């Protein structure tokens, strides 16, 4: 089985990810915030959706579900602790499942923080992390806590470094400007910025990415680095004693950036 990944731009800066099995012309949809880009792509490529996976309840991740379920009669997998339209399989941390037509095992990872019930999906070298980790950034805190989001990012950091990570927003350039403000001497930020600019000029996504890459320039994965701790202490005027403190005040800094 060969899996092809496709990003469909949705709303202003979201991506809907499709896992496509070209052998049987079927696809899995991740976080459909709108139905239109999905339906026109399915018609054009003559592929049939078999399931929807949802990372969290925000409208820009779920608004397309009702129409897609009406038109294709699809099962919807999502977090058990959030309200997801048309949910058929409520998932908890560490649950595992398979989907029809796909020889893949999916594992549910706790990514609480952006929202309290946010989950991620791990399968075959791919990780779908919703609004938890972005390239050079991370999600904002809604009903989750800084402690939860810090723990979720540390969990991602412990996954295999060459895992390909699929997040759901094109925020990379903005995030890199903030990363540069935090670590002006980090050359990896400039290298990533040049590559990301070239991609955006051609209207191409800057995603996906690997942990191995992100760990060099994403300040939210570098909260245990002395350079980041120092910058955060200076900006916040707080004593920064550990990675979690650093994360908390870094997130606040970014909120007002």
Between residues 65 and 231, which has the closer beta carbon with respect to Zn ion?
Answer: 65
Between residues 37 and 130, which has the closer beta carbon with respect to Zn ion?
Answer: 130
Respond yes or no: is residue 58 known to be catalytic.
Answer: yes
Which helix H or strand E contains 4, and what residues bound it?
A: strand 3-10
What's the min distance (Å) between Cβ of 69 and Zn ion?
21
**By the rule CB under 5 A, 131 interacts with Zn ion:** yes
What is the Cα Rg of the chain in Å?
A: 18
What's the min distance (Å) between Cβ of 61 and Zn ion?
6
What's the min distance (Å) between Cβ of 119 and Zn ion?
12
Active-site entry in 118, 150, 169, 180: 169
Provide the 10 A C-beta neighbour count for residue 251.
22
One character per residue 54-83, x = contact with Zn ion (rule: CB under 5 A): ----x-------------------------
Active-site entry in 31, 58, 118, 245: 58
Structure tokens at 222: 């570098």
Q: Which stretch binds Zn ion (CB under 5 A): 14-22, 90-98, 131-139, 226-234?
A: 131-139
Taking alpha carbons only, the member of 100, 98, 72 closest to residue 86 is 72
Respond yes or no: is residue 235 known to be catalytic.
Answer: no
Q: How many residues bind Zn ion (CB under 5 A)?
A: 2
CA distance 92 to 120: 10
Active-site entry in 31, 118, 131, 150: 131
Respond yes or no: is residue 13 known to be catalytic.
Answer: no
229: Cβ contacts below 8 Å, ≥ 6 apart: 223, 240, 246
What's the min distance (Å) between Cβ of 87 and Zn ion?
17
Respond yes or no: is residue 169 known to be catalytic.
Answer: yes
Taking alpha carbons only, the member of 221, 248, 222 closest to residue 233 is 248
Between residues 12 and 44, which has the closer beta carbon with respect to Zn ion?
Answer: 12
- Exposed (0-12), middle (13-18) or buried (19+): which is 222, by Cβ within 10 Å? buried
Respond yes or no: is residue 177 known to be catalytic.
Answer: no
Residue 127 pairs in a beta bridge with: 122, 165
185: Cβ contacts below 8 Å, ≥ 6 apart: 227
Between residues 20 and 133, which has the closer beta carbon with respect to Zn ion?
Answer: 133
Please state whether beta strands 96-99 and 209-210 pair in parallel, antiparallel, or not at all (unpaired). Answer: unpaired
One character per residue 39-58, x = contact with Zn ion (rule: CB under 5 A): -------------------x
Respond yes or no: is residue 150 known to be catalytic.
Answer: no
Region of residue 135 (phi > 0: left; psi between -120 and 50: alpha; otherwise: beta)? beta
Between residues 141 and 228, which has the closer beta carbon with respect to Zn ion?
Answer: 141
Q: Which residues belong to the active site?
A: 56, 58, 60-61, 114, 131, 169
Residues that bind Zn ion (CB under 5 A): 58, 131
């Amino acid at each position: 089985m060969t899996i092809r990944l496709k990003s469909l731009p949705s709303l202003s800066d979201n991506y809907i990810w499709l896992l496509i099995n070209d052998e049987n012309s079927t696809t899995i949809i991740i976080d459909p915030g709108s139905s239109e880009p999905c339906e026109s792509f399915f018609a054009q490529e003559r592929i049939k959706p078999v399931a929807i996976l949802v990372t969290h309840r925000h409208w820009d991740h779920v608004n397309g579900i009702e129409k897609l379920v009406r038109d294709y009669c699809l099962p919807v997998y999502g977090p058990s602790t959030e309200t997801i339209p048309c949910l058929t399989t409520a998932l908890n941390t560490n649950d595992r499942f398979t989907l029809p037509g796909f020889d893949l095992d999916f594992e549910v990872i706790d990514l609480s923080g952006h929202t309290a019930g946010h989950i991620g999906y791990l399968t075959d070298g791919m990780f779908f992390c919703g609004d938890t980790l972005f390239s050079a950034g991370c999600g904002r805190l809604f009903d989750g806590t800084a402690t939860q989001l810090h723990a979720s990012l540390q969990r991602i950091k412990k996954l295999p470094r060459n895992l390909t990570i699929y997040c759901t927003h094109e925020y990379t350039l903005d995030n890199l400007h903030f990363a540069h403000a935090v670590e002006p001497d980090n050359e990896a930020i400039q290298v990533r910025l040049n590559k990301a600019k070239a991609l955006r000029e051609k209207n191409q996504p800057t995603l996906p990415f690997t942990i191995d890459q992100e760990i060099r320039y994403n300040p939210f994965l570098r909260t245990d680095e002395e350079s980041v701790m120092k910058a955060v202490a200076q900006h916040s005027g707080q004593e920064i004693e550990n990675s979690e403190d650093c994360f908390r005040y870094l997130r606040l800094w970014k909120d007002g950036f």
